Amino acid sequence: MKLERDESNRLALPANLPTNAQDLLMLMDEAANAARSGEGVTSPTFDHCMRIFNQLNAHYQLAVSQELAKAHKGLCSATCALKVATWFLAGVTVLLGGVEVWKTFLR
């Protein structure tokens, strides 16, 4: 995916922004390269391209935070499963210890 051009041949955001972080990074790279082609930090080309870069960066941060939220949810469910398994194994260990104590007193 590439950035589009408007009627004055300046970079413009595509009508449908991607939600994939990798695609957004590619668009951010293109905007940064276009900003470097400006005549200086105060040039209109630099300012325009940096505005586009910042807009894409905001969308990128949103995409990354959504991915992290999904990963966090998965980690929470895995942690819960590990807690259940740990308590189950602790119960089995106590039960086996009780059986060994009981066998000791029966001898």
pLDDT tens-place string over residues 57-87: 999 999 999 999 999 999 999 999 999 999 9
pLDDT tens-place string over residues 3-36: 888 888 888 888 888 888 899 999 999 999 888 8
Tell me the pTM: 0.69
Evaluate if residue 41 carries a pLDDT over 70. Answer: no
The whole-angstrom distance between residue 30's C-alpha and the CA centroid of its chain comes to 21
- What is the domain range of residue 22? 4-106
Domain count for the chain = 1
> By three-state DSSP, how is residue 7 classified?
coil
pLDDT at residue number 64: 94
Query: 1: closest CA among 34, 10, 49, 15?
Result: 15
Query: 50: closest CA among 105, 80, 11?
Result: 11
Rounded Cα distance between 93 and 84, Å, is 14
Helices (H), 8-43: 21-36
Rounded Cα distance between 29 and 60, Å, is 12
